[in-house]
Amino acid sequence: MRNAKRFAVLLTFALVAGCAAVHSREARVVPRPQVTLVSSFHLANNNRDLINLPIEDVLGPRRQEEIEHLVENLTRWRPTKIVLEWARSD
């Protein structure tokens, strides 16, 4: 009887310790960050790029619709940080 109690206590301790180890390992799992790069043309440089592509007017209806679609998708994604390229002088 004494060995049975000792075995039960050891078994209980092993189960509790095992559960705690699994729980602590799960708690340390950190999801990898998701990164999305969104780029655009440099619109205010008066064709000073090395390569200048012809682009539609960004104020036109098609481009405005694309911009709205992008903003809607960003809103749904809910990013925690957004980084913008901006001239130092500004």
Sorted by where each begins, the domain ranges of the chain are 2-77
Answer with the residue of higher pLDDT: 72 or 9: 72
pLDDT digits (tens, 9 = 90+) for 7-49: 565 556 666 666 555 555 555 677 887 888 877 766 666 677 7
Cα dihedral 58, 61, 64, 69 in deg (nearest 10)? -140
Task: Give CA angle at 71 (45, 73), nearest 5°.
Answer: 130
Is a pLDDT exceeding 90 seen at residue 69? yes
What's the predicted TM-score (pTM) here?
0.48
Is a pLDDT exceeding 80 seen at residue 74? yes
CA distances (Å), origin 78, targets 31, 38, 64, 86: 16, 15, 21, 22
